Amino acid sequence: MLFSPQRASGQDGGGSGAFLRLGLGTRALGLGGAYTAVADDGAAVYWNPAGVARIQRHWAEMMYRRMGLDRRQFVLAYTQGLEPGGGVGFAWVNVGVDGIDGRDLNGQPTGMLTDSENAVFFSFSPQFSRRISAGLSMKFLYNRLAGQTAKGFGGDIGVLVRPVEPLSLGLQFRDIGTRITWNTAGLFDQNVRRRETFPRSLTVGASYRAFQNRVLIATDVEKAQRRETAFRAGAEVGLPGGVIARTGLNDGQWAAGAGFITAVKSTRIRFNYVFLMDRIGLHETHAFEWEFGF
């Protein structure tokens, strides 16, 4: 008997590519995932690649998230702006479980197993004008479970528009042609290849900034194949001393987080934290992120 985050990832209820629907970026998660029209940091490679064009510096980010049932998520991301306009980004996402108790069909122990699911994103976003940008993320997938491997690829397309300065509108087509193929050599008498296609989705979002950008309100609506329409909303408030408070709802799941911004000479440092409820067993989930801008 095997356990895999792909089949029980929590926030979006399993199925092909479920480990990617966990999301990434503690700021985005703290806003309940309402990030399609925000997407102005390294998490843009996931939520809306068009946001990579908004990044002004070089940013390196690291995120660690511990979830129920001994699951973990680790993310590394790097983004930078380009002259005269646009940006590029990279992210590696790993979700896995160690120490799985493997058993055969008769319930007899077969040893300890490991599951590891990985996605590597490469994003590019040209800025067509001061108010419009578009972006593309290509993702390469590599999973390993009980000695069996799977490889795949896919893509996301996003658009960001600022019709007026406080308002931003976003759109993302996720998992266009995304699929993964399992190689089961050694598991059965014959080498069986199984292909899984990730469900496509369309997300539209809006965000609004007020009080000299100290307050951010954002909302998203997502429609995906084989899933019900999801609604997300979040808010962020900048407080004195570089402290930021966030809260959000991801299709009814509450999230809350905080951030702290400081600088050492020309290097900007951001620390973010988010608390979530995991739908798998209703466990508490905590995620931490460090960002360095230079």
Phi-psi region of 86 (alpha: psi -120 to 50; beta: other; left: phi over 0): left
Q: Give the pLDDT of residue 10.
A: 41
Q: Are strands 215-224 and 230-239 parallel, antiparallel or unpaired?
A: antiparallel
Q: What is the pLDDT of residues 89-105, one digit of tens each?
A: 999 999 998 877 777 77
Per-residue confidence of the chain (294 residues) as pLDDT tens digits? 444 444 444 445 456 788 899 999 999 999 999 999 999 999 999 999 999 999 989 999 999 999 888 889 999 999 999 988 899 999 999 999 887 777 777 777 777 778 899 999 999 999 889 899 999 999 999 999 877 899 999 999 999 999 998 999 999 999 999 999 988 766 655 666 788 999 999 999 999 999 999 999 999 999 999 889 999 999 999 999 999 999 999 999 999 999 999 999 999 999 999 999 876 656 789 999 999 999
Q: Give the pLDDT of residue 282.
A: 64
Is cis: bond before 84, omega within 30 of 0? yes
Spell out the residues 6+ positions from residue 167 whose beta carbon is closer than 8 angstroms to its own. 206, 207, 208
Judge whether 21 and 9 are in contact, CB under 8 Å: yes
Q: What is the pLDDT of residues 67-85, one digit of tens each?
A: 888 889 999 999 999 988 8
Q: Give the pLDDT of residue 187.
A: 61
Backbone angles phi, psi at 241, to 5 degrees: 80, 15
Q: DSSP letter at 281?
A: T
Q: Give the pLDDT of residue 114.
A: 82
Total residues found in the chain within this entry:
294
Locate 58 and state its tokens.
Answer: 């070089």
What is the pTM for the complete model shown?
0.89
**In the block, which residue shows the tokens 């759109």?**
171
